[in-house]
Amino acid sequence: MTAEARALDRAIERVVTLGGLEERAMAVTSGRLDALTKPRGSLGRLETLAIQLAGITGDPSATFGHRAIVVAAADHGVVRQRVSAYPADVTPQMVANFLVGGAAINVLAARVGATVSVVDAGVAGDVPAVATGATGAASLIRAAIRAGTDDMTEGPAMSRDEAVRSIGVGLDVAAVLEREGIELVGIGEMGIGNTTAASAIASAMTGVPPERVTGRGTGVDDATHAHKIEIVARALAQNAPDPADPIGVLAAVGGFEIGVLVGLIVGAAGARIPVILDGFITGAAALLAAALAPGVASRCIAGHRSVEPGHAVVLERLGLQPLLELDLRLGEGTGAALAMSLVDAAIAIRDGMATFESAGVAGPEATEPV
């Protein structure tokens, strides 16, 4: 057994040991919310979010001021099959853009006070040597497994060893976040071709056929969409991944950035750091993480639901309801960053409102019989 495989076993064990969410912290938060000057439950998802956050952290006073967005990036051999509207060159170009602060995730993370780190998990092409330190610019974590996966229509995207190593990178990143005192992490990804990998993972893990989980990614035309569905089906036929073996699924039809996200989710869950998922690709990673470590899903927050049809399938399987539905299809962690605003709103409500008692406001049916 490799060091990475042992680290993964320990990380899974840590999640399992935690068990379910902390009921006591949830009850305290729920009681606090019910005492505030509003009808019970009338702030809907903001209230359930505050309660979930208490359950994940075990701390009904946690404020989540220290927060990070981690964007995992890698390339995909399957782009040779012409499944994307964009050339693979865009992956390193966008990583460079993250490092100068020019991408959507830089802008949206800065708004909510989150740092951005980019993990090079296997980008094919030159990634700039240094971060620029520009406002909102991302820092770079170099951890490439190799320069892009193999074409999954011709065999597995990566070896089993590489799959475990990519997960190990994510565990390492989670350990750094934990050491740095990060209290909330949003995850995102960049990789031309990775909606194809996510579609294959979603289909393999849920049994839902490729045509129902394969969308248009960053925007392909009808013909390319039909072709993409066929490519996903061909990759699944070629590799016959077993849903009972999530590492095998990752190796067969995944991506290095997806492996990093799996490790990051498992590691953060074990550290009681709430993980805000972004779109379809992070959702596919969460499916794999939840299959590895039961209990992970309840420690994840679905930031949004994207337009990718597979995303709804994935979220349903995870048992997660998205906070936002804004027809996003960008990735990068943009939906996760937007959802951080709702975390802030939920915490502001929890901590900032008057109680019925302090404000002298009557509760339901308190002054008149009905």
Catalytic residue numbers, as ranges: 332
Which residue of 9, 13, 23, 89 would you call a contact of a copy of itself, by CB under 8 A?
89
- Residue from 168, 188, 175, 159 nearest 74 by CA: 188
C-alpha angle 283-123-159 in degrees, rounded to nearest 5: 70
Q: Which of 23, 133, 354, 357 binds a copy of itself (CB under 8 A)?
A: 354
How many Cβ atoms sit within 10 Å of the Cβ of residue 226?
13
Nearer to a copy of itself, 228 or 317 (CB): 228
List Cβ neighbours of 110 (8 Å cut-off, separation of 6 or more): 101, 135, 136
> Of the two residues 104 and 290, which places its CB atom closer to a copy of itself in the complex?
104
Q: How far apart are CA 81 and CA 154, in angstroms?
A: 11
Tokens representing 131 are: 């971060």
CB-wise, 59 or 344, nearer to a copy of itself? 344
Element (H, E) at 230: helix 222-239
> For residues 93 and 139, which CB has a smaller minimum distance to a copy of itself in the complex?
93
Per CB under 8 A, contacts with a copy of itself among 219-248 are: 219, 224
Instruction: State which of residues 1, 130, 244, 370 lies at the interface with a copy of itself (CB under 8 A).
Output: 370
Size of the site for a copy of itself (CB under 8 A): 67
Token pair 């620029």 in the structure block, residue: 132
Residues belonging to the chain: 370
Can you read off the two tokens belonging to residue 93?
Answer: 């170009």
Work out whether 106 is an interface residue with a copy of itself (CB under 8 A): yes
Of residues 153-182, which lie at the interface with a copy of itself (CB under 8 A)?
Answer: none
Question: Distance of CA 124 to CAs 163, 170, 194, 213, 280, Å?
Answer: 17, 19, 13, 26, 22
By CB under 8 A, is residue 76 in contact with a copy of itself?
no
Query: Does residue number 143 form part of the binding site for a copy of itself (CB under 8 A)?
Result: no
97, 115, 195, 239: which one binds a copy of itself (CB under 8 A): 97
Of the pair 20, 363, the CB lying nearest a copy of itself is at 363
* 364 binding a copy of itself? (CB under 8 A): yes
Does 323 help bind a copy of itself (rule: CB under 8 A)?
yes
In eight-state DSSP terms, residue 71 is E
Q: Within a 13 Å sphere around the CA of 280, how many CA atoms are in the beta-carbon half?
A: 31
Choices 90-98, 121-129, 155-163, 180-188 (CB under 8 A): range interacting with a copy of itself: 90-98
**Can you tell me which of 62, 96, 116, 247 binds a copy of itself, judged by CB under 8 A?**
96
Residue 89: CB minimum distance to a copy of itself, A: 5
Site of tokens 């979010």: 49
Q: Quick one: which H or E segment has residue 167?
A: helix 160-179
Shortest approach of a copy of itself to residue 233 CB, angstroms? 20
Q: Which of 265, 345, 344, 333 is nearest to 109 (CA)?
A: 333
- Tokens representing 202? 């979603």
Q: Cβ of residue 142: shortest distance to a copy of itself, in angstroms?
A: 21
E strands within 13-142? 67-74, 115-122, 139-142
3-state DSSP of 10-24: HHHHHHHHHCCCCHH
Beta strands in the chain (DSSP E): 67-74, 115-122, 139-142, 184-190, 275-277, 300-302
Contact string (CB under 8 A) for a copy of itself, positions 44-63, x = contact = xxx-----------------
| Minimum distance from residue 255 beta carbon to a copy of itself (Å) | 19
For the CB of residue 367, give the shortest distance to a copy of itself in the complex, in Å: 5
The only residue of 159, 209, 218, 242 in contact with a copy of itself, by rule CB under 8 A? 218
- Least distance between a copy of itself and beta carbon 291 (Å): 29
Binder of a copy of itself out of 121, 231, 281, 349 (CB under 8 A):
349
C-alpha to C-alpha distance for 54 and 56, rounded to whole angstroms:
6
Name the site residues for a copy of itself (rule: CB under 8 A): 36-46, 82, 85-87, 89-90, 93-94, 96-97, 100-104, 106-108, 110-111, 136, 218-219, 224, 307, 323-330, 334, 338, 341-342, 344-345, 348-349, 352-354, 358-368, 370
